[in-house]
Amino acid sequence: MPIRIEPKKVVPRKKITFSIPEPLWEMTGKYAEYLGGGTDRIYVIEKILEAFFEQEKDFRRWLDGQRRFAS
């Protein structure tokens, strides 16, 4: 059976600049270190935000309602 490799998905990115409290900055660095490999703070922050929005069910319901009205 041949190996099927899917094309890499390119997600457009937006650059932001913000400040966070130093303890959070340190914690994201420690978490990246804990995960190992090529993990960095940016990856950790992205994953935290993704997890937050996935778990925020009230927001998701509200967002679905907004999409219905926009169509």
Tens-place pLDDT, residues 22-61:
999 999 999 999 999 999 999 999 999 999 999 999 999 9
Q: Does residue 7 lie in a domain region?
A: no
Q: How many residues does the chain have?
A: 71
Q: Is residue 12 part of a domain?
A: no
Domain span including residue 64: 22-70
Kind and range of the H or E element at 23? helix 22-35
pLDDT for the residue 71: 63
Question: Are the C-beta atoms of residues 30 and 23 closer than 8 Å to each other?
Answer: no
Q: What is the pLDDT of residue 39?
A: 94
Does 49 map to a domain? yes
Specify the number of domains making up the chain: 1
The pTM assigned to this predicted structure is 0.74
Q: Is the dihedral of CA 27, 56, 63, 12 positive or negative?
A: positive
Among residues 58, 10, 48, the alpha carbon closest in space to that of 27 is found at 48
Per-residue pLDDT, 55: 95
DSSP 8-state symbol, 36? -
Residue 44 in contact with residue 31, Cβ under 8 Å? yes
